[in-house]
Amino acid sequence: MIPHAARAELRDLLGAEGLAEDEVERACHAYDATPFSPEGTGRVLPDAVAFPESAEQVGAIVDLARRHGFVLVPRGGGTGMTGGSRPVRGGLVLTFPRMARITIDERDLCAVVQPGAVTGRLQAEAEQRGLFYPPDPASKDFCTIGGNLAENAGGLRAVKYGVTRDWVLGLDAVLGDGTRLTTGSRAVKSVVGYDMTRLLVGSEGTLGVITEARLKLIPLPETRATLAASFDDVRSAADSVLGLLTARLDPTALELIDRTCLESVRETLPFPLIDRTRALLLVELDGGASDVARRLPAAERLCREHGATASESAADEAGREALWQARRSISPALGRISPHKVDEDVAVPRSRLAELVAGVQDIAARHDLQCASYGHAGDGNLHVNLLLGERQPEVLARAERAVSEIFDLALQLGGTLSGEHGIGTAKRIYVARELGAAGIAAARRIKAAFDPDGILNPGKVLPEPGAGESGDGDDAE
């Protein structure tokens, strides 16, 4: 709880527009886009919601929280999929619509961006100047740069351009002990000291509150084209991915979509869905016009050699956008098939993707669960959706066992529990399976150094001390 004295100080600091204490605002900031998860927690309302408008105000809020002993939950656009921005112990949610400034430096090819800026807006403003910010999460029209940084967001173009972390030159942040920290440099290269930038990116608001980012930009590619290849089985589509990656075609995006997912967005597809199609592979290329024109038919031929039975190409912007809008809509569209689902995003080395796809199908069948899979095949990152129908206890128990087996499979294949969604609350009981006892202990020492009072986003990322150290998942809340 936030003490009365602290509330009064917050009102004085933030003004009438900067602090919300009514139940409606608190309820609106108590959730994110996390689907139902068997191991997840229920909704907990924050005690209040703060809307700071400067780094100075953020620093003052952190000082208040330390003095009065209440917790802080930094929040972006609320599009996270693992509960990272949901309060679990009340406290004060920090959200940043009043800190959304974007400044683009065309000479140094960088953007100085506050955390509340919407990612799609940054992309649009860069493109107006002939520049390009590649990270492209599916929720780009709603998610914010601050949330992308906290989660190290990936997205559709990661196969060629990497994830958010790869585009950060430096940050300003307020740590949990109140320290104002500036990391990195506006220079393209900087190797002085420990890489604090990469430590903060992906830390899910547990180490510091990011107040500004300096992000790399590059010249906008001259043209883009997209190929949609249909396959009669998911395994063949997965097998073709490695061929596309090793044929020097340099795809910008390489997405796999199974039949169940295709059915969920069938009405938005720009072409009819063939009855025998069981998977679709979306291949996007960018670069010079003549180079893309050369690589596009080569990609189509390679897909055919790996079993594609049909293909459609879209070189114009309208056709491309229709295809990618359908892809971005899959996660919410699956709600038409099942009101409840478990959504996991395991990732494996790209050479093991076909094994992951086959293994996930076997696990779902063994537990009598309907499974819908899609994702960033070029990264080996598969979004596995277990469709639960209604929330019956027996179905939930089967889903929890299936999730545990899917995580084990990903690790056995040399992969990871999460390619881009992060840990939040949804995966923290499993994280020791990947990090091990030594990794958990080292992470806790870092957390204690950055946030000695434990006020920043508690209950996220790491298991509770003494719980889940073996990674057996038995400490579900």
pLDDT tens digit string along 41-66?
A: 568 999 999 999 999 999 999 999 99
pLDDT (mean) for 269-290: 93
Separation CA 241–CA 237 (nearest Å): 7
φ, ψ of residue 81 to 5 degrees: the values are -110, 5
Separation CA 75–CA 150 (nearest Å): 9
**Which numeric CATH code is attached to 4-95?**
3.30.43.10
Nearest to 71 by CA among 176, 204, 149: 176
Does this model's pTM top 0.75?
yes
CATH class of the region 102-219: alpha beta
Separation CA 413–CA 30 (nearest Å): 36
Same fold for the domain at 4-95 and the one at 102-219? no
| Degrees to nearest 5, angle at CA 150 with 146 and 153 | 90
Separation CA 448–CA 209 (nearest Å): 15
Any idea where the domains of the chain sit in the sequence?
4-95, 102-219, 223-331, 338-412, 428-477
Q: What is the pLDDT of residue 409?
A: 98
Q: What is the pLDDT of residue 305?
A: 94
Q: What is the mean pLDDT of the chain?
A: 93
Q: Predicted confidence band at 371 (pLDDT cuts at 50, 70, 90)?
A: very high
**Which numeric CATH code is attached to 223-331?**
3.30.70.2190
Instruction: State the fold for domain 338-412.
Output: Alpha-Beta Plaits (3.30.70)
Answer with the residue of higher pLDDT: 237 or 477.
Answer: 237
Residue 40 in this model has a pLDDT that exceeds 90: no
pLDDT tens digits for range 173-220:
999 999 999 999 998 888 999 999 999 999 999 999 999 999 999 999
Q: Predicted confidence band at 316 (pLDDT cuts at 50, 70, 90)?
A: confident
Q: What is the pLDDT of residue 475?
A: 36
Query: What percent of the chain is modeled with pLDDT above 90?
Result: 84
Separation CA 427–CA 83 (nearest Å): 9
Residue 414 in this model has a pLDDT that exceeds 90: yes
Q: What is the pLDDT of residue 41?
A: 53
pLDDT (mean) for 353-360: 95
pLDDT tens digits for range 208-224:
999 999 999 999 999 99
Tokens coding 365: 């069948």
